[in-house]
Amino acid sequence: MFELENERTELLKKIEDDLERKQYAHLRDLLLPLEAADIAALCEEMDDKVPLMFRLLPKELAAEVFVELDSDEQEILIRSFSNTELKEVLDELYLDDTVDIVEEMPAIVVKRILQHSDPDTRKSINEILKYPDDSAGSIMTTEFVDLKETMTVEDALKRIRRTGPDKETINICYVIDDGRHLLGLLSIRTLLLSEEDDVIHDIMQTNIISVQTLDDQEAVARSLSKYGFLALPVVDQENRLVGIITVDDAMDVLQEEVTEDIEKMAAMLPSDKPYLKTGIFETFKARIPWLLLLMISATFTGQIISTFENALAAATILTAYIPMLMDTGGNCGSQASVSVIRGISLNEIEFSDLLQVIWKEIRVAVICGVALSAANFVKLMLVDRLLFHNQLVTIPVAAVICSTMVCTVLCAKLVGCTLPLLAKKIGFDPAVMASPFITTIVDAISLLIYFQFASAILGL
């Protein structure tokens, strides 16, 4: 990727200049040393010049660039391709990339893609599309090297040389029997370091970590990250090898899942489009449901204030500190919930750890609450009373505020750490129990605590 923005800007100027002067040979030489992702990033800035730039690239590089483009640019290119050009691009794509493109395109474009795919590819595409979204089967590729256990190393290397150019990876080869049951695997390193007459059965690794076609794709991606694999074999319920998932696909899944969690934690419905590619009405639909729910739930906070209206009238100074107490409680709850949600997503925390999590948050809450209350007491006495000469800020009033602070922080931490785990236990996404939802709950709790202390200490 471009390290500096000015480097990217300078390159764009050169490209525009070459296009304007029709110096296509120079433009081609300018693009060839670049990585596919960088060329795709440049294409996104060129709008209607993308088809021309694309046709200047060699077939293999053009296919890599095509995969890196977003769906809008891909659709523009597909519509501009002749039938021959489309078939050439499709022939260079790996199967899982083709499936990703098919899933993003409108029906008329999908029909054209399938028409110009060879029968075997078309059959494989249809098979992968049958798997549920978010499953391992939906992101796998069927382009891998398979070997038989009776082969010698020499036979295996011959097979890799013959079939390898069409496979997504040859770093790991998978050993299967006549029924395609997964028996073992071995790396290209093992093959190269073995004797030519060694039998695959004797050198293959039989301790295999595999996933099933219906396993959740996020769990699969985390398995790849956990074990440091470049690929994971995908088997059906009868342990027949049907595909592999490579690390690049796993990275895409993790990025999508993190984005989805962030959107849920911000009280928005997940979107599968980039921000600038999402229409205004789509953005509105993603945000309004939670905004309506949170707005309605916030009326409970107003109802609590109304209930204690007489108490506030008797000690109006208490009103000034309501926002501070509610905000502090909401922030404390958000800190706890985000930490727990992240721990859940990384499989560091399970529901069985609930008591341990609660005990930890109680101790943290006590320390935080006391520290915040002490700082707040100093601020009330020195700033509010002495500096601003607010004589209504008395020791009893400060006691109400500081006592509420300690209890609010404790309750907020407990709510923030328990709700995500409870949500996970009953089958909801823990990310839903993030900042906005918890803040609304904590706001109501902090007000109840505040007015209870006010009644007890000030006799309201």
Strand order in the sheet with 182-187: 146-148, 172-176, 182-187
pLDDT tens per residue across span 199-215? 999 999 999 999 999 99
Question: 53-57, 123-127, 240-244, 344-348: which has the highest mean pLDDT?
Answer: 240-244
Question: Is pLDDT larger for residue 458 or for residue 199?
Answer: 199
The pair of three-digit structure tokens given for residue 270, joined into one six-digit string: 């997940």
pLDDT tens per residue across span 264-296? 666 666 766 777 777 888 888 877 887 787 787
Identify the burial level of 30 via C-beta atoms within 10 angstroms of its C-beta, where 0-12 means exposed, 13-18 middle and 19 or more buried: middle
pLDDT beyond 70 at 142: yes
> 2 and 45 in contact (C-beta within 8 Å)?
no
Give dist(CA 327, CA 333) in Å, integer.
Answer: 10
pLDDT beyond 80 at 114: yes
> Per DSSP, what are the bridge partners of residue 187?
172
Q: How confident is the model at residue 257 (pLDDT cuts 50, 70, 90)?
A: confident
Domain over 275-458 is classified CATH 1.10.357.20: yes
User: What is the torsional sign of CA 314, 316, 318, 322?
Assistant: positive
> Per DSSP, what are the bridge partners of residue 244?
141, 233
Average pLDDT over residues 436-441: 79
Measured from the Cβ of residue 58, the count of other Cβ atoms closer than 10 Å reads: 12
pLDDT beyond 90 at 317: no
CATH for the 146-246 domain, from 3.30.390.10, 3.40.50.10860, 3.10.580.10, 3.30.428.10: 3.10.580.10
Give the residue extent of every domain in the chain.
5-130, 146-246, 275-458
| pLDDT, position 49 | 80
| Strand ranges, E, within 248-309 | none
> 122 and 115 in contact (C-beta within 8 Å)?
no
Q: How confident is the model at residue 459 (pLDDT cuts 50, 70, 90)?
A: confident
> 115 and 164 in contact (C-beta within 8 Å)?
no
The pair of three-digit structure tokens given for residue 294, joined into one six-digit string: 């949170």
pLDDT tens per residue across span 159-195? 999 998 888 889 999 999 999 999 999 999 999 999 9
Query: Of how many residues is the chain composed?
Result: 460
Question: Which distant-in-sequence residues (6+ apart) come within 8 Å of 259 by Cβ?
Answer: 270
> 86 and 118 in contact (C-beta within 8 Å)?
no
Q: Of 455, 444, 458, 447, nearest to 321 (Cα)?
A: 447
Q: Which CATH superfamily is domain 5-130 in?
A: MgtE N-terminal domain-like (1.25.60.10)
Q: Of 143, 135, 145, nearest to 188 (Cα)?
A: 145
| pLDDT, position 269 | 65
| pLDDT, position 380 | 93
Phi, psi of 378 (to 5 degrees): -60, -45
Question: Is pLDDT larger for residue 251 or for residue 241?
Answer: 241
